[in-house]
Structure 1
Amino acid sequence: MLRSVLIVDDESSMRHLLSVILSDRGYDARAVATAEDALRELEAHDYDLVLTDVRMPGMGGLALVRALQQAAPELLVVVMSAYGTHDAAIDAMKAGAYDYLPKPFKPDDVVLLLRKAEERERLARENRRLRGELAAAYRPDAIVGTSAAMTATLRQVRKVAPQKTTVLLEGESGTGKELIARTLHELSPRASFPFVAVNCGAIPEPLLESELFGHVKGAFTDARRDKKGLAAEADGGTLFLDEIGELPLAVQVKLLRFLQEEEVRPVGDVRARKVDVRVVAATVRDLGQAVRAGQFREDLYWRLNVVAIRLPPLRERREDIPALAAHFLARYARLRPELAPPELSPEARDALLAHRWPGNVRELEHALERAVVLADGPVIREEDLPEAVRPGPARAAAPGSAPEGTLSVKRATRALEEQLIRAALERTGGNRTRAAELLELSYRALLYKIKDYGLG
């Protein structure tokens, strides 16, 4: 909250008036007659805000603003003037002032301005706090995992993060590719700019180019206004292209041009606009194989594959499962605030270690969220885990068999469907496109069912 204000004005009556107004409202106000006195005062004491006149003997108010921008850029400065014009206000803002107060003014005008400044500072502090929490969440040392496979991955992340280099993240569904992409962003000089994530497999093909690069009004039937594309939204920051292997060939051409020229051309526009974007792409597919099959452009593949980072599946880093489980149990403990933080029983821990986790870390997270909700006490038992995770007949049942003890067609059908989806994902290494082909489902239907069954 703003408490201390330094008043700078060569008129003694104005210094007195402002001191009374601010003191009566609970502010700690001190007044000086010149900009030079203000600089000396600010060297000796801390203030939350400076309220300065423009025209003063010696150094003027705008020169003081510029000097304070260099010496104390976080300090809020408000400029006052009896020669109030629009140009004077613009000059003050250009110099770095927070706001402009024309003379004469009412006491309420001054107080309202300070209240606005307080709200701005509150929002700025909250923004800094949230950014700090976000940065902490996406630091490599905040990512759970000390296995050799994960340590090697994080070592690569630290090396490449400060560069603009394009990165291709490879790994099965649920291995944490978006988490790594965000970590690359937060550890880069671009952290204060946007991180924009695009799921290339979730946007219908006719809309993809418009979503990525924008469009102008009238470019097509429903284009009723200009639209800024996601690539332009990420200007200065990072564009994360998830499921890049699902990008249609026609859009791959446009993406390649974007990467080569570093400019976007909205659909229907003849002009291109330069953008500064770092691209991180992710895929569950073997893009090299897709290139050989004619499903992915080779030139785009090499443009994306400047630095490839492979994310290990959970079955290759089983030693991380206990730490990951503890992390997720602590996160979801807030769902049961009346109980002590949950712990795993030895049987539940053994079940987690034995499961193959085709859905990887995301499947583990969903399994433990479910367990926390269903548990009767602070101990997570084996029976609190999803059927597919628990050992025994239900887990060992061959595809095509019903869960033990049920004659319900509806339940048996769901169980069979879940088994088949798990088997297809495991067989294809988490490649959803190939799994959908094996299952003879549309890609969108498979995504819906994966979400419905908590598989990713």
Structure 2
Amino acid sequence: MTSHVLVIDDDPIQRRLLTNMIERLGHVAHLADNGRSGLEILDRKGGLINVILLDLMMPEMNGHGFLEAIAERGTDIPVIVQTGQGGIETVVLAMQAGAFDFVVKPVSPERLSVAIANALKMEHRDGRARTTKRPRSSGIGFDDIVSASPAMIRVLDLARRAAQSNIPIVLEGESGVGKEMVARAIQSTSERSHKPFVTVNCGAIPHNLVESILFGHEKGAFTGATEKHAGKFADADTGTLFLDEIGDLPLEVQVKLLRAVQQGEIETIGARHPQKVNVRLISATNKDLINEVKEGRFREDLYYRLNVFPIAIPALRKRKEDIPVLVRAFVERFAGEQRLSTPLNVSSGAMALLTAFDWPGNIRQLENAIFRAVVLADGPELTVKDFPQIATQIPGYVVSGGAGFSWEEAGPSRTSVVETDQLPPVYPQFGKPKRAEVRTVHAEPQSEAAIASVDEGGDVRKLADVEEELIRFALKFYRGQMSQVARKLGIGRSTLYRKLKDYGIDPDNPFRDAA
């Protein structure tokens, strides 16, 4: 079904690119060059717009002003925020103001498609809570993996390709990132989808029992072996065996695993002859296996046999775009499981809080936090107060009395929008924008960021002269990136180009006049 997307961005090139992406997705794009123009379009076509794609840094009315304005009007159209900085506080402020999702410029068509699709799902919800409960451990496909980040989309693309063959796969990533879920999706998409899927947590088995559990044993093979045990390889015959935390396997068991991988046969303890098995092997680890090889804790030959198709799953803190969609998915699922009579929503403050947190336990920790909050919820909306353990663990944040939270700064007041390089170094993965090292910005002996307010005679300089010097400095500071320069100066690109022409500034060499 065709949907209508309102694009609010002061950069005409960005508007054109976004329009092309939106139209290729089968939707209709409506364009505005600032927040005020966006509000005017909403006044005329408010009932038609399904999703808003909003830039944050614009002249006249920026993105934050626009979010505040539609909140006052009671408009509930999902808003996807675009940020060129990627700064965590910028994102948090947007989420607090009611943004549905955020994307980092330049946004890829795949990421934009996911963001719009998720927003449309929210916009088209019929308001009824689900009451069905599906087993979490079975029947999981790629469509069941909730994701919006480009990094995770690439992971899922690799996994889909790997599912079409029997190639050995190693899933790498921290505990709780969803390795087993990806493994199950691979299984369900492969030709072995209706065959057994057997999981083994190698790190949870006593070392003296690993061999027996994996390869089985005959009755009487050792003291205590009162019955025959088939073993996990035999259980997974014709299907898939998922070996979680494979880096914890003892060296003596690694030898037998190598034979199973190379020759497709296992040696059952106490058996006279090896047994043929047809098993698709998917391994997972939270360790650096190549380092384990160097340290002599993992066999090199086994490493190269298993690591044919490695897939690295990033930690949740490195794909924060996934947090809002995961939160909504978990809330919807747990609300259905708890058979709540009405849908349960998440406040903008709570969503901002959850997005700001780094989640050392990754998705598993987020899921448990949401589960607890849903079980204890006593209203129609989850707020910051429902996540007390999370709020107290974020350095630099303080919980406010209004069930919200804010960035704690020195001084009695704070600016409404804080630049990335003003943030405390809590979220290094967002980082600071790379800037050119400008040792001197002028022939005059002044600091790189200093622009004189008075001339040599002691009089205040003309506004045009100060503006010209500021534009020259900004061009040098942002390495000639015109969109960035215009955004930071608070003007449109067309205005910037006109001023370059008026002042005779060469954008490639701003401290040399254009010819």
TM-score norm. by structure 1 comes to: 0.56
With over 3 angstroms needed to count, the CA separation of the structure-2 counterparts of 1:385 and 1:199, relative to structure 1, is same
The Cα shift of 1:317 comes to: 1.0
With over 3 angstroms needed to count, the CA separation of the structure-2 counterparts of 1:290 and 1:369, relative to structure 1, is same
Which contiguous aligned blocks of 4+ residues in structure 1 show a shift greater than 4 angstroms?
132-137, 389-396
Residues 171, 311 of structure 1: 8 Å contact kept:
yes
SS at match of 1:318: coil
Q: 1:254 aligns with which of 248, 253, 256?
A: 256
Q: Following the alignment from structure 1 to structure 2, what is the Cα–Cα distance between the partners of residues 395 and 299?
A: 49
With over 3 angstroms needed to count, the CA separation of the structure-2 counterparts of 1:389 and 1:295, relative to structure 1, is farther
Q: 1:272 aligns with which of 271, 274, 278?
A: 274
1:212 maps to 214
Q: 1:320 aligns with which of 322, 325, 331?
A: 322
1:73 maps to none
Q: Which runs of 5+ in 2 are unaligned?
A: 1-131, 399-426, 428-515
Q: Following the alignment from structure 1 to structure 2, what is the Cα–Cα distance between the partners of residues 135 and 200?
A: 18
Q: Following the alignment from structure 2 to structure 1, what is the Cα–Cα distance between the partners of residues 239 and 164?
A: 12
**Cα distance per residue 1:90-147 (max 9 Å; x no partner):** xxxxxxxxxxxxxxxxxxxxxxxxxxxxxxxxxxxxxxxx9x9999953223311121
The Cα shift of 1:225 comes to: 1.5
With over 3 angstroms needed to count, the CA separation of the structure-2 counterparts of 1:224 and 1:394, relative to structure 1, is farther
1:239 maps to 241
SS at match of 2:310: strand
SS at match of 1:239: strand
SS at match of 1:266: coil
State the structure with bigger RCO (CA 8 A, min sep 6), 1 or 2. 2
Q: Which runs of 5+ in 1 are unaligned?
A: 1-129, 397-425, 427-456
SS at match of 2:166: coil
Residues 185, 195 of structure 1: 8 Å contact kept:
yes
Q: Following the alignment from structure 1 to structure 2, what is the Cα–Cα distance between the partners of residues 391 and 216?
A: 52
Q: 1:299 aligns with which of 281, 298, 301?
A: 301
Amino-acid identity (%): 48
Residues 199, 241 of structure 2: 8 Å contact kept:
yes
2:87 maps to none
Q: Which residues in structure 2 correspond to 1:33-432 (within 5 Å)? A: 138-390=140-392
Residues 241, 281 of structure 2: 8 Å contact kept:
yes
With over 3 angstroms needed to count, the CA separation of the structure-2 counterparts of 1:356 and 1:210, relative to structure 1, is same
Name which one, 1 or 2, has greater alpha-carbon Rg.
Answer: 1
Q: Following the alignment from structure 1 to structure 2, what is the Cα–Cα distance between the partners of residues 309 and 186?
A: 17
SS at match of 1:371: helix
Q: Report the AA paired with residue 273 of structure 2.
A: R
Q: Which residues in structure 2 correspond to 1:18-33 (within 5 Å)? A: none
Residues 354, 390 of structure 2: 8 Å contact kept:
no
Larger deviation: 174-183 or 142-151? 142-151
Q: Report the AA paired with residue 264 of structure 2.
A: E
The Cα shift of 1:158 comes to: 1.0
Q: Following the alignment from structure 1 to structure 2, what is the Cα–Cα distance between the partners of residues 348 and 134?
A: 26
The Cα shift of 1:386 comes to: 4.6
Residues 174, 363 of structure 1: 8 Å contact kept:
yes
Query: What is the number of equivalent residue pairs in this alignment?
Result: 267
**Cα distance per residue 1:188-223 (max 9 Å; x no partner):** 101111000000000101111000000001111110
Q: Report the AA paired with residue 311 of structure 2.
A: I
**Cα distance per residue 1:378-421 (max 9 Å; x no partner):** 2111121151355668989xxxxxxxxxxxxxxxxxxxxxxxxx
With over 3 angstroms needed to count, the CA separation of the structure-2 counterparts of 1:271 and 1:330, relative to structure 1, is same
The Cα shift of 1:373 comes to: 1.1
Residues 217, 268 of structure 2: 8 Å contact kept:
yes
With over 3 angstroms needed to count, the CA separation of the structure-2 counterparts of 1:355 and 1:393, relative to structure 1, is closer
With over 3 angstroms needed to count, the CA separation of the structure-2 counterparts of 1:170 and 1:338, relative to structure 1, is closer
SS at match of 1:236: coil
**Cα distance per residue 1:233-291 (max 9 Å; x no partner):** 00000000000011111111111111111111111112111110000000000000010
Residues 200, 243 of structure 1: 8 Å contact kept:
yes
With over 3 angstroms needed to count, the CA separation of the structure-2 counterparts of 1:316 and 1:222, relative to structure 1, is same
Q: Report the AA paired with residue 231 of structure 2.
A: G
SS at match of 1:208: helix
With over 3 angstroms needed to count, the CA separation of the structure-2 counterparts of 1:395 and 1:293, relative to structure 1, is farther
Residues 357, 394 of structure 2: 8 Å contact kept:
no
Residues 233, 279 of structure 2: 8 Å contact kept:
yes
SS at match of 1:387: helix
CA-atom RMSD in angstroms = 2.4
Residues 367, 386 of structure 1: 8 Å contact kept:
no
With over 3 angstroms needed to count, the CA separation of the structure-2 counterparts of 1:238 and 1:369, relative to structure 1, is same
Residues 152, 314 of structure 2: 8 Å contact kept:
yes
Residues 202, 244 of structure 2: 8 Å contact kept:
yes
Q: Report the AA paired with residue 359 of structure 1.
A: G
TM-score norm. by structure 2 comes to: 0.50
With over 3 angstroms needed to count, the CA separation of the structure-2 counterparts of 1:237 and 1:336, relative to structure 1, is closer
Say which structure is richer in helix: 1
Residues 216, 229 of structure 2: 8 Å contact kept:
yes
Residues 217, 223 of structure 1: 8 Å contact kept:
yes
Residues 383, 390 of structure 1: 8 Å contact kept:
no
Residues 388, 394 of structure 1: 8 Å contact kept:
no
1:410 maps to none
